[in-house]
A and B are shown apart, each in its own frame.
Chain A
Amino acid sequence: MTDGVPAIATFGLGKRYAGSDKYAVKNLNLNIMPGEVYGFLGPNGAGKSTTIRLLMNFIQPTEGHAIIKNQNVVTDSVEIKRDIGYLAGEVTIYPKMTGRQFLDYMQALQPPKRKGFVHELAKTFQVDLSQKIGALSKGNRQKIAVLQAFAAEPEVLILDEPTASLDPLMQEAFFELIHLSRIRGATIFFSSHNLAEVQKICDRVGFIRNGKLIAQQSIADLSTQATQTYSVSFAEMVPLVDLRRIPKAKVIAHSSHHAVIQMRGDLRPLFMILTRHKVTSLERREDSLEEEFLRFYKGGKP
């Protein structure tokens, strides 16, 4: 990433809700550069939403502070929001307005850079803006929520588990939208509990657990070093000797016709062996995010 002033930065940011002695977020230090797509990963309740709500000034920090584009998120909140797009995974929108009325309302509050842009977007996402939002399906409502966040072509996008209720096809359109925003230089802060999703679109990823940032890594490192687990069934006996010879791979379980292999980096050696045998099934196992991430973390930084 380039040197210079970070687009988003937090300094010892902490939040303890009133009436609770537990920190929802503690001593959080983030540095996100302009143009960077940053994935903020963690299980539910880890503090992702709290962090985002702090950045959006929906809640007040109890410790530390945060800046966006060199302005304090609390004192300069209004100024900052001229150029921010915000999207939450579960959004309620005024059910009695049509999509068009709602977008008009939002654009009256945050004037867009290009007037027709939001309608182009609506076409891409195939949303019917003439229907009442309350009459739309959940997926279509979420599309309108996506539109409102991107409509003003903001320089900073803050997205809180945005893909949670998009169907797979629309997720692709959404990733494309993020890609286009990145090309035009937007900084994107993206929370998720799905590592695969983050790997696909982010430059860098931070992992938060119990309110604390426990690791940060660039995706380039992550994808070459992340461990993956494959479960393979063979028609004949498992070629155990060959499998054990694969560099950076480990057979963690096997029976006569079945093997579970864990490996990192280049997958070619595994598949070269598999092509020589009769394979009846091949399955990539979804490890829990935390397992996967922590394994990477241990592996990546010896």
Chain B
Amino acid sequence: MIAVIKWTLWQRRWSTLWWAIGIAAFIFLSLSFYASFRDQAAQLNQVLDRLPAAARSLFTGNADFLSPQGFLSARVYYLMLPLLLSFLAIGLGSSLISREEETGTLELLLARPISRTRLLAAKALAGLIITVTVSLTSLVSTLVICKLVKLEIPLGGIVVTTLTCTVLALVFGALAFAMSALGRSARLASVGLSVIVALGGYIISSLAGAVKWLEWPAKFFPYHYYRPTETLAGVYVWRDSLLLLGVTAILLIIAWQGFSKRDLNG
């Protein structure tokens, strides 16, 4: 099992490195102009006030865009970081098993004394390690740049928000993983559905801040349980992340059940 994790990580080493570099670069670019932004805050505030509530909530949820938390949330944590980490996790989830199945290398592994359960666990762990590595890179990048541009937010807030963001991404990764482990649906379908749930959830949850009747359906999307602006400000509901972890666990159980007894595509 260790060998499968090791070689899976080895195979993904370059793409993981590029993801880490890309996310770090994105965070640097997004936050670097904080100083000049702060000086023009008053003007921007007026512009934002003229936007309709629905449009504004797509950027920041309901937070004050001009506070340090509001800025960091709007630039990184509200949309882009969860989106990037989710795409990473979906890409991993949809390919860790199914690419090996498509190319036939899965048979080379399963011809050895390793159970499907262990193989699946090894692949899931490799995916977890890669996602966490990239999200740690994002955390370190954020802390460094916040220091540089004097964006003053308590360390704990940033750490916990990154953590909840990672948990959110893992839900989508697990969804893609489960679908591709079930096998019947193609890899594209697993990517498609996961992206729809991720993006759709983001849009519906964001708009729910302004559009009352969306509040109820928003509850069915993982994004609803991710509240970066509040978390950065120190208001954090553990229950939300526990719920997301619970969903992830259920999806992994589905993956396990689906994969352990089915016919491999050959």
Q: Which of B11, B103, B108, B262 has the most CB of A within 10 A?
A: B108
Total of A-B residue pairs, C-beta within 8 Å:
66
User: Knowing A93-B105, A109-B3 touch, does A56 contact B114 (C-beta < 8 A)?
Assistant: no
Contact A92 B105 (CB under 8 A): yes
- B100-147 with Cβ < 8 A to chain A: 103-105, 107-115
**Chain B residues near A101 (CB-CB < 8 A):** 7
A85 CB, min distance to chain B CBs, angstroms: 8
**Chain B residues near A84 (CB-CB < 8 A):** 111
Q: Which of A75-83, A168-176, A267-275 contacts B (4 or more CB under 8 A)?
A: A75-83
User: Knowing A59-B264, A94-B11, A108-B3 touch, does A88 contact B107 (C-beta < 8 A)?
Assistant: yes
Tier of interface size on chain B: 20 to 34
Q: Does A17 contact B (CB under 8 A)?
A: yes
Which of A17, A81, A90, A93 is in CB contact (< 8 Å) with B112? A81
Contact B110 A60 (CB under 8 A): no
User: Knowing A49-B266, A58-B264, A59-B263 touch, does A110 contact B113 (C-beta < 8 A)?
Assistant: yes
**Chain B residues near A78 (CB-CB < 8 A):** 113-115
Contact B11 A81 (CB under 8 A): no
- B212-248 with Cβ < 8 A to chain A: none
Contact A79 B113 (CB under 8 A): yes
Contact B264 A93 (CB under 8 A): no
Q: Which of A17, A59, A82, A85 has the most CB of B within 10 A?
A: A59
* CA of A57 to CA of B263, assembled, Å: 8
- CB 8 Å contact bits of A95-132 with B (1 = contact, 0 = none): 01100010001101110000000000000000000000
B159 CB, min distance to chain A CBs, angstroms: 35
Q: Which of B4, B111, B266 has the most CB of A within 10 A?
A: B111
Chain B residues in the interface with A (C-beta under 8 A) = 2-4, 7, 11, 103-105, 107-115, 261-264, 266
Can you name 7 extra interface pairs (CB under 8 A) apart from A49-B266, A106-B108, A110-B112? A56-B111, A60-B261, A60-B262, A78-B115, A105-B3, A106-B112, A109-B109
